[in-house]
Amino acid sequence: MNDIEIIREYVKTKILTLDSRGYVKSRESTKLDFKESFNWQNNAEYIKTMTAFANNQGGFLVFGVKDSPREVVGLRGQAFENLTSEKISEFVKSTLSHNLSYEFETLEVDNKKIGWIYTRQSQIKPVICTRTIGSGSDLKDGAIYFRNGARSDLIRSTDLQKIISDQRDAEARRWMNLVKQAGAIGVENAAILSLTDGIVSAPGGKVVIDESIMKDLRYIKEGEFNEKSGAPTLKIIGEVEASSARVIERNIDPEIKYQLTTKQLGEELGFPSKSAMANALALVKYFNLQSDEYMYSFKAGKVIYKKYSREALNILIEKANNGEFEIDKDSDSMKSIRKKAIKL
């Protein structure tokens, strides 16, 4: 699944699930804001919320849902369908210090049209407003907006200090990674590419990359991508093509990509609740689904938790359908897998 498919699935299964009364279960939060309608004339209000999300952990603007009660009313007309990346980007560039990384789409819930915009956490913080629009709660020149609970407000000093500290730590890590990479290949074999002017500086001299190629490389400059082993990267051969060494992929909130706990993974496969966790763990180990494409580990206190992507679930369903194991804790195949997984 690509980014947009993962985000779409999250919106459907996590944000817009309905309770028995037909109301949306999710509440407005640090990562979620509901709007009853959409009108691009209110772009300053929307960009303010998107900026607040970007300066925190990212989040969703969902249009066509009342906040209280959280009723799906749907969108009328074609205003959201007529929204384009160019419209958003043009306004962002004229209003903010940095670009925002976002996705947007429409979907249907209960036969009603819903629009959503997902804003990723910015890798370059803080994102600052560079001009004043309107008055009161609208955008103000020099303001830094931050998501606090269900509100998009001016940032507090403690949150700003944390952003600055985190940015320093991230920059230090990037420098250390560069030094390690240079050390691994040898300084005499290393070069530095300037994404500003396309100059590659190496011990033997300089090389200038053609401007037409730099257009396809500059997106890396925003710091919105991570390296990940095992998939395509960019290879310069007169034009930008895919190679099979490494992938550069957009950052995506782990909460969105890795939706399933170990127990939920087992239950989604069809195992009884009591045995779901043990069987899921055994299957993950046996089929080696522990890479960051399928699994995310995080620490809370002294406990390490694991969550899994939909890709992991889909692969296990496919293997079950192919007869590689039976979804029955007492089957010979599962007994064998649990036994072998202990040794892995």
DSSP string, 288-335: T--STTTEEEEEETTEEEEEE-HHHHHHHHHHHHTTSS-S-TTSHHHH
Structural domain ending residue among the three candidates 206, 236, 251: 251
Taking the complete model, does pTM exceed 0.85, yes or no? no
Q: Are 149 and 209 found together in one domain?
A: no
Are 8 and 136 in the same domain? yes
- C-alpha 137/C-alpha 13 separation (Å) is 33
Question: Do residue 135 and residue 242 come from a single domain?
Answer: no
Under a CB-based contact definition with an 8 Å cutoff, are residues 308 and 294 in contact?
yes
Tell me: do 8 and 92 sit in the same domain: yes
Nearest one of 1, 3, 10 to 311, comparing CA atoms: 1
214 in the same domain as 247: yes
Helix (H, G, I), strand (E, B) or coil at 204: coil
Quote the number of domains for the chain. Answer: 4
Burial class from Cβ neighbours inside 10 Å (0-12, 13-18, 19+) for residue 2 reads exposed
**Burial of 284: CB neighbours in 10 Å, binned 0-12, 13-18, 19+:** buried
Q: Say yes or no: 92 and 211 in one domain.
A: no
Which pLDDT value is given to residue 231? 45
What residues pair up with 129 in beta bridges, in sequence order? 96
Distance CA 68, CA 220 (A): 41
pLDDT at site 232: 46
- 134 with 218, same domain: the answer is no
Q: Which of 320, 309, 231 is nearest to 270 (CA)?
A: 320
Distance CA 127, CA 100 (A): 9
Interatomic CA distance for residues 110 and 130, integer angstroms: 40
One domain for residues 203 and 177: no
According to the model, what pLDDT value does residue 246 have? 39
15 lies in the same domain as 111: yes
Q: How high is the pLDDT of residue 114?
A: 97
Compute the distance between CA of residue 274 and CA of residue 278 in angstroms, rounded to an integer. 9
Do 147 and 101 share a structural domain? yes
Domain boundary among 190, 207, 235: 190
Q: Are 262 and 254 in contact (CB under 8 A)?
A: no
Supply the range of the domain harboring residue 178. Answer: 158-190
Q: Which two tokens stand for residue 334?
A: 């599962």
Look at residue 199 and give its three-state secondary structure: strand
**CA pair distance 124, 101, nearest whole angstrom:** 11
Assign 217 to helix, strand or coil. Answer: helix
Q: Is 113:75 a contact under the CB 8 Å cutoff?
A: yes
Find where tokens 């997106």 sit: 219
Q: How far is CA 303 from the centre of its chain?
A: 24
Specify the amino acid at residue 2: N
Same domain for 204 and 177: no
pLDDT at 238: 53
Q: Are residues 151 and 169 in the same domain?
A: no
* Radius of gyration over every alpha carbon of the chain, rounded to an integer in angstroms: 23
Match 């920059």 to its residue by tokens: 171
Bridge partners (DSSP) listed for residue 248: 227
Closest C-alpha to 257, from 45, 58, 37, 38: 58
- Beta pairing class for 246-250 and 225-229: antiparallel
Which H or E run contains 46? helix 43-55
> pLDDT (tens digit, 0 to 9) for every residue of the chain, 344 residues total?
678 888 999 999 899 999 999 999 999 999 999 999 999 999 999 999 999 999 999 999 999 999 888 999 999 999 999 999 999 999 999 999 999 999 999 999 989 999 999 999 998 899 999 999 876 668 999 999 999 999 999 999 999 999 999 989 888 888 888 888 888 888 788 888 876 777 888 777 777 777 666 655 554 444 444 444 444 455 555 554 544 433 444 567 888 889 899 999 999 999 999 999 999 999 999 999 999 889 999 887 888 889 999 999 999 999 999 999 999 989 999 999 999 999 88
3-state secondary structure of 208: strand
Name the amino acid, one letter, at 200. Answer: V
The predicted structure's pLDDT at residue 250: 54
Q: Which of 134, 155, 152, 151 is nearest to 143 (CA)?
A: 155
Q: Which domain-ending residue is among 169, 190, 211?
A: 190
